[in-house]
Amino acid sequence: SKARLFNEKDNIKINFNDVAGLEGAKEEIQEIVEFLKSPEKFTSLGGKIPRGALLVGPPGTGKTLLAKAVAGEAKVPFFSLSGSDFVEMFVGVGASRVRDLFKQAKDKSPSIIFIDEIDAIGRSRGKNNFVGSNDERENTLNQLLTEMDGFDTNTGVIVLAATNRADVLDKALMRAGRFDRQIHVDLPNLIERKEIFGVHLKPLKTGKTLDVDFLARQTPGFSGADIANMCNEAALIAARKSRKTVGKQDFLDAVDRIVGGLERKSKVLSQKE
């Protein structure tokens, strides 16, 4: 059977309310929602709709979530693929996959294409053999550049891409008419962590006295993904202890686990370097 070339979701339920914090990023990306909802409004005055925006920030900060929320808010189909899927790809497959993706997205426009981990395909050409053979990666990148240039200005397809390494990207990607906008998605501060807890505590059965401010203070450096994980861990820990509700100690135990995990991860990373 033929492997799926990319994912398509037509009915995304995620909206801006599911994305806590990130007020600046949401404000910037709101414009793209407006473009997708009513392109004529912009093109009738002679403006050209941007083709792409790059979401830049550390892992787990909500870049994918934000991209999905754009599709959910604008009620348009969401096409996605990940740069890391191109690892070990056979010659010619990467480029044809990209071509196919853009064709489908155009057929269903207005629509969103989301490319996660774009650095895996979008590193400066002629550097670092990161994905498969370098030639194949370059073919894939070139195809992506071609597709972005080949858009009629107003096809109604907007390409969002995410990376935590904007510095290694090929400058050609950032040229006007490609990913010429960068939206920064940073780690949450104390207040933002509180808001993110607000989202991820909702499905949990917690005691009435649970102090969200306390939880936010225990978690400096946590990403949204870490907080989501922590809330889930706390619920599992509480269940294992046969508690009726998820309590403060369960959250503290969950913090230890997450921090332990983060420490292991950073050790592995520093050994690689």
| Dihedral of alpha carbons 91, 59, 165, 35, sign | positive
Q: Which is nearer to ligand ATP, 151 or 222 (CB)?
A: 222
Which range of residues in 54-62, 85-93, 123-131, 259-267 is near ligand ATP by CB under 6 A?
A: 54-62
234: amino acid identity, one letter: A
Strand order in the sheet with 78-82: 7-9, 78-82, 111-116, 157-163, 52-56, 181-184
Q: By CB under 6 A, tell whether 77 contacts ligand ATP.
A: no
| Dihedral of alpha carbons 137, 139, 144, 145, sign | positive
User: Which residues lie below 8 Å from residue 93, measured CB to CB, with a gap of 6+?
Assistant: 136
Q: Which is nearer to ligand ATP, 89 or 228 (CB)?
A: 228
Q: Measure the CA–CA gap between 253 and 256, rounded to whole angstroms.
A: 5
Residues 79-138 that bind ligand ATP (CB under 6 A): 116
Structure tokens at 40: 């004529």
Among 70, 71, 162, 258, the residue binding ligand ATP under the rule CB under 6 A is 162
Q: Which is nearer to ligand ATP, 60 or 132 (CB)?
A: 60
201 to 240: interface string for ligand ATP, x by CB under 6 A:
-----------------------xx--x------------
Which range of residues in 62-70, 129-137, 176-184, 254-262 is near ligand ATP by CB under 6 A?
A: 62-70
Task: Please report how close the Cβ of residue 154 comes to ligand ATP at its closest, in angstroms.
Answer: 28
Q: Please, are residues 117 and 50 in contact by the beta-carbon 8 Å criterion?
A: no
Q: Which residues of the chain form contacts with ligand ATP (CB under 6 A)?
A: 19-22, 59-65, 116, 162, 164, 196, 199, 224-225, 228
